[in-house]
Amino acid sequence: MMQIPQNHFRDALRAGRTLIGLWVGLADANAAEALATTGYDWLLLDGEHAPNDPRSVLSQLRAVAPYPVHPVVRPVVGDVALVKQYLDVGAQTLLVPMVDTPEQAALMVRAMRYAPEGIRGMGAALARASRWNRIDAYLNQADGQMCLLVQAETVQAIAHLPAIAATAGVAGVFFGPADLSASMGLRGQANHPE
């Protein structure tokens, strides 16, 4: 049997280590692999503003797997079914955009965990994440390797920020200054002092 991949990115966040990464919006496995050789701690495979979907992310996950870089996947939206697909193809860390409330954050936590703690579908036998059931006790170990980051990008999210950040299972909050400034009526002014 195989061992579950350890989420060293999540471990480093918990330890308070500074991690440096790069946004990858090219939707190309060769580009992702080339960038994986450059020494970054993480690469964000962007599906919100780049033309990535689960199939192109799968190719990029395979391309970066041999390198000491951690892939972070940003889906287009925080959708339970889409989260399941990204986790099943092997993502362990997601950055979910436009999380405005603690309820949305809690739903994304549940989407990343198997029952009874969560609602992630039980299709591991068909999934790359479990190496098609070749990882010993994958279903019992997977939740412990997941890492959820959420994006606060609206006035509503900022109003709920303490509760979002305190949501059990949320490992971090990323601020989206462009969307936040637009939400504040300051479109195109991401560097505005407010």
Q: Which residues are catalytic?
A: 49
Q: Hey, CA dihedral for 16, 19, 24, 29, is it positive or negative?
A: negative
Token pair in block for residue 45: 């495979």
Structural contact between residues 112 and 168, judged by C-beta atoms closer than 8 angstroms: no
Rounded to an integer, what distance in angstroms lies between the CA atom of residue 98 and that of residue 47? 13
Structural contact between residues 120 and 129, judged by C-beta atoms closer than 8 angstroms: no
Rounded to an integer, what distance in angstroms lies between the CA atom of residue 73 and that of residue 108? 14
